[in-house]
A and B are shown apart, each in its own frame.
Chain A
Amino acid sequence: MRDWRYRLGEHRGTLLAFVFFILMFAVYASNHPAGFTANVVQTAANKGVLLALIAMAQTFVVLTAGIDLSVGMMLVLTNCLASAIVLGAPAMVGLGVAGVLLAGLVCGAINGAIVIYGRLQPIVTTIATGAIYFGVALAIRPVPGGDVDSDLADAFTGRIWGVVPASLVALLVVVLVIWIPFRRSAIGRAAYAVGSSAAAAYMSGVPVRAASFLVYVLSGLIAAVGGLFLTFITASGEASAANGGSYTLFSIAAAVLGGVSLFGGSGSAIGAIFGALMFRTIGDLLFVFDLEPLWQPLFQGVVLLAAVCLGSVRLFQIRNRLDLF
């Protein structure tokens, strides 16, 4: 393979995130009082997969140089919806799951329609639609509560054959069913092209609008999967603006840690997943090292700050000062 250097360059962010995650998780697992057991992995996986899903949802949009600040609110909305309708007889549970996923699709499609066909800036649009989704979530669940089918919840948060965390398998299925086909399809390549340069993509006859619209829809769908998962973990629904906001912030942070460029056109959802798992492990590391919980937010913030500052390493490669701008 003569082009290995280009391939390596393309996947550098993803590989770095993967290596960092493995290192951190090794430190975490080897210092955990209970050791590296299936139980420890299962708990870590459940917390990590939720974050990984939301980071994936963000990544789709960021690849086209957009941004979705309503991701957290879509998660909250689908969480509230799932806590109300994923209940009862097996057929009803199935319908409920379909309904939740459909709600995510619709939310994403609304974002996409306003941004692409209404020609508004994604930042402001998703701030406004986020408020609307939060309002709907509050209407569904004015006070925290609700329940979810416990068999289904146990199946998704438990272990398969007593070893493999089911949540990781579910995440793998999402990647195989949504991300891989997207990445390999013409419209997925179009999304990357739009992120690199929308004007050049348009000139080359790339379906710019279809690709930009699709990423918002997929983002909504994956946020809904995240919402379902959150419901499985907590077995309740809560319309909390603070939660929605912090999930949105996490999703951006995790995507950036995973090597996804906010300027669009580079990175992958796989990288974002490892970015999310890494971010999650940072928080857990404090716990095993017996640091006071009081210091946890500060530690997480400083690590985040240090991680994003790594992004300025490219400044050393700049020959012409004008390339700074």
Chain B
Amino acid sequence: MKPPPMTTRGAQWRRVDPAVATAFGCIILLLLLGSLYSSRFLSPEYLLQQLKVASFLGIIATGMMLVILLGQIDLSVPWVVAVGGMMSTAATGWGPIGEALAIPFGVLCGVGLGLANGIGVAYLRLPSMIITLAVNAVAQGLMVVHTGGFSPQDSSSAAMRFIATGDTLLGVPNALVVWVVVGGATVFVLSRTTFGRAIYGIGNGERAIYLSGIQTQRVVLVTFAIAGGLSAFGGILLAGYASKAAQAMGDAYLLPSIAAVVLGGASILGGRGKYIGTVAGVILITLLQSILSVVQMEETGRQIIYGLVIIAMLLLYGRERLAR
């Protein structure tokens, strides 16, 4: 077989996923609609602010995407996010060493919960929907005991506030820089490493990948651990952004993170989807939420429009082929 021809510009264009193109098209449409209401929607300050808010969801959705690519789902996001935020702020209260190690400690707690998910899915062969639900319940229980029994510190450290709210060069928010780094690493892992290819492979058919000599169980375990760490890291950023951690802080991130991944064209059954799609989905959802709140839409209308947009977009390009 001949190697595939070098990609010319035209070929590159044809390879664009219709889902990703539609999602980016909708982003532009939303911005245009917004600019009819107020010209502020096209100002660089507004766009940067939106990208900053989007980075929190973006980092959490990155973990969700990795898990969805495996053909699994992570419903433990709400309380893993909360664990990340609450444990890092608690560590801040343990003196200077605790403050220095707050961020890694929070991420580590998330990785621990992710490992519990991964063991359940990879080695105990439990459906991910149910084991992550149980881990979510355990994490909630742990945090209730933690806050009630030890009354830990809940305000975030200076470092957390710096990476979540600060600006470095040219007014680019630090949170956005963090998202770009996380996203870049994810793209590299997914497209250039054996591990990344194995994730796609497992989503398409774990048996075949196992037979071709990949330790699939280890890949699944590590992927869930990474997803847990990313969720917790998202929680740390959120705690830094709000300058404190609270119990229900992760509740609002489960459904948007799944929606962002799916709107970006990834198949919920696994094995198919690109990171750029998830980026588009995250920005789309953040913009939608922002514009609906700026035009002072009531919560009622916001929820309804949010649901309708997801369904309408999926009907455009997310339909399954007619089997048989």
Contact = CB atoms under 8 A, between A and B. Distances in A.
Interface of A: 67, 114, 118-121, 123-125, 127-132, 134-136, 138-139, 142, 198-199, 202-203, 241-242, 245, 249, 252-253, 256, 262-263, 294-302, 304-305, 308-309, 311-312, 315, 322, 324-325
B15 interface: no
B272 interface: no
24 contacts: A67-B129, A119-B322, A120-B314, A123-B73, A124-B258, A127-B258, A127-B259, A128-B306, A128-B307, A128-B308, A131-B304, A249-B136, A252-B129, A296-B141, A298-B141, A298-B144, A304-B134, A304-B138, A305-B138, A308-B120, A311-B126, A322-B210, A325-B206, A325-B216
Nearest to B116: A305
A242 B141 CA distance: 16
Contact of A301 (B131, B137, B148, B211): B137
Contact of A249 (B133, B148, B319): B133
Determine which residue in A131, A262, A300 has the highest number of CB atoms from chain B within 10 A of its CB, and name it: A131
B255 interface: yes
B184 interface: no
Contacts of B300: 135-136, 138-139, 142
Contacts of A121: 262, 268-269, 318, 320
B319 A309 contact: no
Contacts of A119: 319-320, 322
B77 to A, nearest CB: 12
B135 A305 contact: yes
B129 A262 contact: yes
Contacts of B142: 298, 301
Nearest to B320: A119
Contacts of A139: 300
Contact of A324 (B125, B133, B268): B125
B12 to A, nearest CB: 29
B25 interface: no
Nearest to A298: B141
A127 B248 contact: no
B120 A138 contact: no
Contacts of A128: 259, 306-308, 310-311, 314
Contacts of B192: none
A300 B137 contact: yes
Contacts of B320: 119-121
Contacts of B135: 305
Given A131-B255, A253-B134, A308-B120, 8 more contacts: A114-B315, A118-B315, A252-B129, A252-B133, A301-B139, A312-B124, A312-B126, A324-B125
B307 A129 contact: yes
Contact of A132 (B138, B145, B207, B307): B307
B44 interface: no
B141 A118 contact: no
Nearest to B302: A135
A124 B259 contact: yes
A296 B300 CA distance: 33
Contact of B130 (A241, A253, A300): A253
Nearest to A305: B134
Contacts of A125: 311, 314
B214 to A, nearest CB: 12
Contacts of A256: 130
A248 to B, nearest CB: 10
A308 B134 contact: yes
B226 to A, nearest CB: 21
A199 B126 contact: no
Interface residues of B, number: 57
B149 interface: yes
A139 B130 CA distance: 32
Interface of B: 73, 75, 120, 124-127, 129-131, 133-142, 144-145, 148-149, 206-207, 210-211, 216, 248, 251, 255, 258-259, 262, 268-269, 298-304, 306-308, 310-311, 314-315, 318-320, 322-324
Contacts of B139: 301
B194 to A, nearest CB: 19
A309 to B, nearest CB: 6
Contacts of B299: 135, 138
B308 A132 contact: yes
Given A118-B319, A119-B322, A198-B323, A297 B140 contact: yes
B145 A298 contact: yes
B227 to A, nearest CB: 17
B131 A308 contact: yes
A135 B301 contact: yes
Nearest to B131: A308
Contacts of B133: 249, 252-253, 304
B202 to A, nearest CB: 9
B26 to A, nearest CB: 15
Contacts of B136: 249
B125 A135 contact: no
A263 B127 contact: yes
B138 A298 contact: yes
B128 to A, nearest CB: 10
Contact of B126 (A132, A298, A309): A309
A199 B304 contact: no
Contacts of A312: 124-126
A132 B315 CA distance: 16
Determine which residue in A256, A294, A305 has the highest number of CB atoms from chain B within 10 A of its CB, and name it: A305
Determine which residue in B149, B248, B300, B303 has the highest number of CB atoms from chain A within 10 A of its CB, and name it: B303
A199 B141 contact: no
B278 to A, nearest CB: 14
A117 to B, nearest CB: 10
